Amino acid sequence: MPPSSHQTLGLKRLLPLVSLAGTLLLAAAPSFAAAGSATVHPQLWPRLRSPLPPDPALERRVRALLARMSVEAKVGQMIQADIKYVTPAEVRRYRLGSILAGGNSGPDGGQYGTATQWKKLADAYYRASIDQPAGTPIVPVMFGIDAVHGHNNLVGSTLFPQNVGLGATRDPSLIRQIGAVTAQELRASGINWTFAPTLTVPQDRRWGRSYEGYSENPKLVAAYAGQIVAGLEGAVGTPQFLDASHVIATAKHFVGDGGTHDGKDQGDTEVSEKVLRDVHAAGYPPAIEAGVQVVMVSFSSWNGVKMAGNKGLITDVLKDRMGFDGIVLGDWNAHGQVPGCSNEDCAAAYNAGLDMLEAPDSWKGLYQHTLAEVKSGLIPMSRVDDAVTRILRVKMRLGLFRPGLPGDNPLARSSAAVIGNPAHRALARRAVRESLVLLKNQDGLLPLDPRRRILVAGDGADNISKQNGGWTLTWQGTGLSNANFPGATSIWAGIAAQVKAAGGTAQLSVDGSYTHKPDAAIVVFGEDPYAEFQGDLPNLAYRPGNDRDLDLLRRLRKQGVPVVAVFLTGRPLWMNREINAANAFVVAWLPGSEGEGIADVLLRTRDGRVDHDFRGRLPYSWPRTAVQTALDLGQPHYHPQFPYGYGQTYAHPQNLAPLPEVAGMVLRATRAGVYLAHGKPASGFALEITGANGQTAAVTATPAASTDGSLKVGAVDYKAQEDARSLSWSGAGEASVALRTAVPLDLDRETNGDVLLVTTLRIDALSPHGSLIGAGCGKGCGARVPIGKQLAALPRGKWLRLGLPLKCLRAAGADMRRLRSPFRWTSSAGERVVIADVALGTVADDTLACPGH
């Protein structure tokens, strides 16, 4: 069904905000690089220049400071380390230019922190950076963090809807205000730099980072880009630009991160240069014109060339043609994927134009190699001086050389009055209201009368973590409870408050059971939190093979209860069955900390008025089947279930005809990164045992044993009947159990991203000779990581999730790009363990340390 005229006007109002220099208004040229070619034609890209007026005095200061710096100090400025892997003393010694707090890195060894903790940490690194011997040039350190929907690493902060929800608002002024509030809460915690905004234009929603993009439509992304940058940094040409209430912004990930083949994270964007420019780079000209000071380069490739090594796009286009004079930053060890490079050594990335490499755990080796390469001339001194000039320029624009600790700025001194204050939360609540998209409202069920009896069900109803999604306190947004979000409001709490105030009755029942029949039910459900890797999908089916939410909707309808479905999601998914089962269907995206914004729209006032109508419009096209993965506005044969821009309102009511329930595929449970589930090998994997005699046998049924009897396998009950496997070693010599696949696994990107191999197990007894976890990658290729001493410290007879960083396997010799066996447990007589699941993850009850760490 086509969008009505009032649905398309929102975008038309945005178009004047798109820069006339932007990529979208350029005419096509026949000399563009075609799809498959990585040849760059800079003259066909927008010609821009820095919006900042010339500042001769600042440039003289930069040159003077640069002239006094040693080569060692210059190299230090070009490296960024993670707080988990670098101490203040090391920042002082190596004179590092910046530090970051990655997704799971927080103060005091935690994953997130309070304002007091963050300020103390920022002050410690700052003090270290300026504590240099007399006569040594002083260059204060910058501190960056991923504040992507508010200051999402800070306990008690205001958390806004994720970008996918903000795209639904079609409200650029709101985006600017959100940027300003985020900057204030960052400054209040002592942080002066955010790795935002994300200007990706996702074209395949199987990508686990799709929710970080505002829209599939490059025009909407371009309209937002300048606004969010101006909110974070302040307006260029005003006294507010990079003042004590604003922070450095980072436009990311340049360029093509949202266009990779099959939506694979860090994959290859196989498009023509024109598409790269007009679609994927659409947000960069307006961001540059708004004064963005940092551009982060993508992990991904363009037509086979890794962006971190693409001189044509970094130097020739971004710096020279588009006039960007700030810092070009690499992503998390992304330089290690450039051919000929490793995480600890990549002259090619610097020579391509990267000014600063993000080397969270590899910074020390990178420093040593880079220093040697600069001294040898492999990295020219002219390239070093250009990089450091840009770094010093940005630091001076930020006012970093003015005296004062990060934790002593005016906002930090009054952090309790700034962070999560009522005005900030009111803005977030408004954003929630504006982001909601109404797909269905049969016979005008909504808005509900709050004076009636309302049942609130579903596992998302009273789950603040779930309503926030990934990049919330932790990298993947998992392992959290409502107690981790002081000041936040769950969707249930918001509904309950308004119903109680109106004189009605609200009941929370996750499973939908009740004692008194309700007049209506609001069922809140959806995707569990995820970020990259964990969020990647093979198709667009919503929870294939798991009909729990569908069954709940249908059961309530069968009982004669009108049902409002509220869907929490980072992307459109095929769920025609769920939409058909509900009387009304609302897409709430990932709304953030202010769940009461949903009650504002779903409920009438106590006197029966409608205070807030639906305003949200789909920022992405909604799929007609689970395999309709190529679905973007303007493509040939565009035929979605709901088009880009669709959204019903109370003012223009309409009923929805039943939707077809043909998924286009068999709805079977599939999840990437699962190797053993409920005691059974995942699809494509086999369980095998190798005895002390070296003979290997497949385990096709239990009980089973190696040919020499040194390892026996049995079936044990964990949470269900025979959903775990017992392993018992006896006899002389080592024996092992392994999971093997015929198709090699490429876990290189997951290894780079600090992903764990998580084993759900129970340790009953350990061999006195020790245990090993290993991986195999072919003949003569593999890893064996000794874990016996660490296992000895764990409790016996207790189920737990044991995590081993994938990087431990890489360090022990495994080629993570071609694993045949991602899991092998080796031990000897006396060991007894029970294993239920083996999978990739980011959270474990206990995480093993790599040997030597």
Strands 821-827 and 735-741: antiparallel
Candidate list 82, 355, 361, 532, residue with the active-site label: 532
Q: Which residue has the tokens 């459109």?
A: 572
Candidate list 212, 233, 316, 331, residue with the active-site label: 331
Separation between Cα atoms, residue 651 and residue 351, nearest integer Å: 58
Instruction: Give me the count of residues in the chain.
Output: 853
Q: Determine the 3-state secondary structure of 299 from DSSP.
A: coil
Indicate if 528 belongs to the active site: no
Indicate if 331 belongs to the active site: yes
Separation between Cα atoms, residue 482 and residue 464, nearest integer Å: 6
* Secondary structure string (H, E, C) spanning 493-506: HHHHHHHHHHCCEE
Residues 6+ apart with CB under 8 A from 521: 454, 455, 456, 457, 512, 556, 561, 562, 563, 564
Contact 677, 839 (CB under 8 A): yes
Separation between Cα atoms, residue 73 and residue 96, nearest integer Å: 8
Q: Which residues pair with 453 in a beta bridge?
A: 505
Torsions phi, psi of 2, nearest 5?
A: -75, 150
**DSSP string over 639-668:** --SB-TT--B-SSS----PPPP---SS---
Convert 684-719 to b/e letters by CB count within 10 Å (16 or more is b): ebebbbbbbeeeeeebeebebbbebebbbbebbebe
Q: Which residue has the tokens 């600042």?
A: 58
Per-residue CA distances from 149 to 82, 203, 281, 654 (Å): 21, 21, 22, 33
What is the rounded radius of gyration, in angstroms, for the C-alpha atoms of the chain? 27
Separation between Cα atoms, residue 518 and residue 156, nearest integer Å: 34
Convert 259-268 to b/e letters by CB count within 10 Å (16 or more is b): bbeebbbbbb
Give the up-direction half-sphere exposure of residue 719: CA atoms within 13 A in the CB hemisphere: 10
Tokens of 303: 């037509």
Q: Which residue has the tokens 């002592």?
A: 190
Active site residues: 331, 532
